[in-house]
Amino acid sequence: MIATSRANVFFASSDAEKGAIHPSSRSHNRGYSGIGNEKVRDQVCMKENFDCGNPEDDERRNSWPTEELLPGFRHFTEDFFQVQIPLENTTYVLEDLKAKFPSKSISKNLSCRSVCRPWMIVSIPRS
């Protein structure tokens, strides 16, 4: 419920406030993307979203809402990723066991430090 209420506050904020949280690079989506800014299968997406990922990922940096706009959101999200990292790494080991890879090829070659799944918080406006 806390995450939902904070997402509602974020998406209800002004376009200027949301637009200030743009991705730090065109090579990844970490930050805010407004309605109509993305396409899927050549169709314009009528949604807005905020993406964030592992705070320890130096290659894909997060863009955050200000503390005034969403108090505690960044701290909550970064704490979540610290819990998620060992869980995802365990998942890779379990996938190795399930696939019977003796060399532990998945867990050996992947680390959640670099590939931890990002969060996408989506808002689809009512028509």
Query: Is position 59 within any domain?
Result: yes
With bands split at pLDDT 50, 70 and 90, how would you rate the model's confidence at 98? low
Whether the predicted model's global pTM rises above the 0.75 cut: no
Which domain, by its residues, includes 8?
Answer: 2-78+117-123
- What does the pLDDT average to over 66-87? 82
Give the per-residue SS3 of 45-56: CCCEEEEECCCC
In a domain, 35, yes or no: yes
The answer, yes or no, to whether residue 104 has pLDDT greater than 60, is no
Residue 108, domain member (yes or no): no
The tens digit of pLDDT for each residue in 1-31 reads 456 777 888 889 998 998 888 776 665 678 8
The answer to whether residue 101 is domain-embedded is no
Percent of the chain scoring above 70 in pLDDT: 65
Q: Give residues with Cβ within 8 angstroms of 119, minimum separation 6.
A: 51, 52, 53, 77, 80
